[in-house]
Structure 1
Amino acid sequence: MKPYIFLFIASIVWMGCSKDETPNFQENKLAPLSIEFDNIVGNMNLQLNTGEYTNSSGEKFSLSLLQYYISNIEVQKADGSIYTVPQDSSYFLIKEADPLTRFAKVKVPEGEYTSLRFVLGVDSLRSTMDISRRTGVLAPGGGMDDGMYWGWNSGYIFFKMEGLSSAAPVDPSGQHKFRYHIGGFGGYSAPTINNIKTITIDLRAGGVAKVRTGRESNVHLMIDIAKFFDHTTKVSIANNPTVMFSTYSTLVANNFFGMFRHDHTEN
């Protein structure tokens, strides 16, 4: 037999054996990873109703409601390889009033991850799927019943924050209330309003996530509401006490990028 023919046959046999003997890494070596969303205002812990804070415009305020969607989670290793959590397992509604929603728990392959990426909001594909494909926190009885869905616009509210401030005008209830309901996925009705934001978190300074079976690595993020009022756009409660489905909401949504930072990782 000619040498090159022998080598060709041997290589085919080797590839066939290696395929049978190599386990499916993603299916057989998945391990738990949690992402903790800890809401703060500046250097203060966020407390609904009882806490009082001051934004960069000098306006005092308190919060009565804060909740937002996190979705499409990805993790990345130092070599650049990325693992995307299956989309059906990657939608979470973080609610300050419910401590049980503070953690987004997923499973990813074992390894050490240096960065994390997720969407703040709900992607356009899922937003337009048949309602039968929108389950969990996206379904009736989930986020929709939590007031996180515009029935008139058939879209999810990505970020919802409400509270009281003397800087806000008096509303029909007799309270100085402000409301920020930020959504918009660039649909046909308003293609210029797309407030889906992808947040990237570098984990190296605060500790990489060392994911292993038999234990849960926890990435602890701080979400600073002070940055909602002042990152790329200064948001004044007096000037804009209510922001919903409007062009100005796109400027407010750009402030999301400044809100998230990595504090530490528990391995």
Structure 2
Amino acid sequence: MKLSLQHIAIGCALIFSLQSCSKKDDNKPQTSKKATLSVEFDNIAGDRNLQLGTGTYTNSSGEQLTIQTLKYFISNIKVTNAEGVEYVVPQDSSYFLVDESKPETQECKVQVPEADYKSLTFTIGVDSLRNTMDISKRTGVLDPSGSMDDGMYWGWNSGYIFFKMEGTSPQAPVDPTGANKFRYHIGGFGGYSAPTINNIKTVTLDLSKAGVARVRAGRESNIHLMVDALKMFSGPSTISIAANPQVMFSAFSVNVANNFAGMFRHDHTEN
């Protein structure tokens, strides 16, 4: 049986169409098969490991300080694969409270499709939608009662503290306990019924230079980040303890938030 030119053309078009679909699908994350991706937040101070209560460090203003508390919320994690396709981790599985005093909180694990990922994006803080959701939708680290125990929720302001750093410094004023203490409690999601301070920050890190994350079933890929606490004092603004020993819900808090967005860098990836 002879094939007409029309039949041959139709057959070629069909083959080309199938190949194109196959190639297009290969570029997408394999959403049917997921594996564990770990993001590790390794808190440091300059070129030294952060030691709460005992380490003495010097900030960009030349002020000596000791950090006693360092906590921050990480949320809304998403990754971008080698073809530029993004995968957003389901929001209910994407809220973490990193606490330097609790090593087990410093590795945030999520499930993502198997792929090679070249960038990582996350939010420092808690998004406005979740801030205003019914309490039944705010569980785990977002449980307001639990967050108040951790000192990460303002009951008077009905909002989360995104970032908290406390410590002592000779440049800080003496508090009622007799300690020279500084406090930075930074929050503000933009307001519920009227516009207010918005200190939610989004960070995107390029993983390609220090190792992409090759996520596969049966093994855990770990993106190791260094988080330099001293960069909270420098960046777009210079934060002096002597000039601003206590910053909470005030206009100046925007300067602190702009600085802590620069604390994070990708060090390496373990595959």
Question: Same-fold call, TM > 0.5?
Answer: yes
The alpha-carbon deviation at position 144 of structure 1 amounts to: 3.0
- CA deviations 1:190-239 (Å, max 9, x no partner) are 62400000000100111000000000000000000111000110000000
Matched letter for residue 212 of structure 2: V
Structure-1 separation of matches of 2:146 and 2:212: 32
TM-score scaled by length of structure 1 = 0.90
Structure-2 separation of matches of 1:223 and 1:83: 24
2:96 alignment counterpart? 92
The alpha-carbon deviation at position 75 of structure 1 amounts to: 0.1
Tell me the number of residue pairs that the alignment of Structure 1 and Structure 2 aligns. Answer: 257
1:191 alignment counterpart? 195
Matched letter for residue 170 of structure 1: V
- CA deviations 1:68-105 (Å, max 9, x no partner) are 00000000013210000000000000000000001000
Preserved CA contact (<8 Å) 1:35 1:220 = yes
Is residue 127 of structure 1 aligned with residue 127 of structure 2?
A: no
TM-score scaled by length of structure 2 = 0.89
2:37 alignment counterpart? 33
Residue aligned with 2:116, SS = strand
User: CA RMSD of the aligned region, Å?
Assistant: 2.4
Q: Which runs of 5+ in 2 are unaligned?
A: 1-5
The alpha-carbon deviation at position 188 of structure 1 amounts to: 3.7
Question: Structure 1: which 4+ aligned runs deviate by more than 3 Å?
Answer: 24-27
Residue aligned with 1:210, SS = strand
Aligned-residue identity in percent: 66
Matched letter for residue 38 of structure 2: S
1:160 alignment counterpart? 164
1:75 alignment counterpart? 79
1:65 alignment counterpart? 69
Preserved CA contact (<8 Å) 2:163 2:185 = yes
1:114 alignment counterpart? 118
Matched letter for residue 77 of structure 1: N
Aligned in 2, Cα 1:235/1:138: closer, same or farther, shift over 3 Å? same
Aligned pair partner of 1:225 in 217, 224, 229: 229
Q: Which runs of 5+ in 1 are unaligned?
A: none
Residue aligned with 2:36, SS = strand
1:247 alignment counterpart? 251
Structure-2 separation of matches of 1:128 and 1:141: 15
Structure-to-structure mapping, 1:171-210, within 5 angstroms: 171-188=175-192, 191-210=195-214
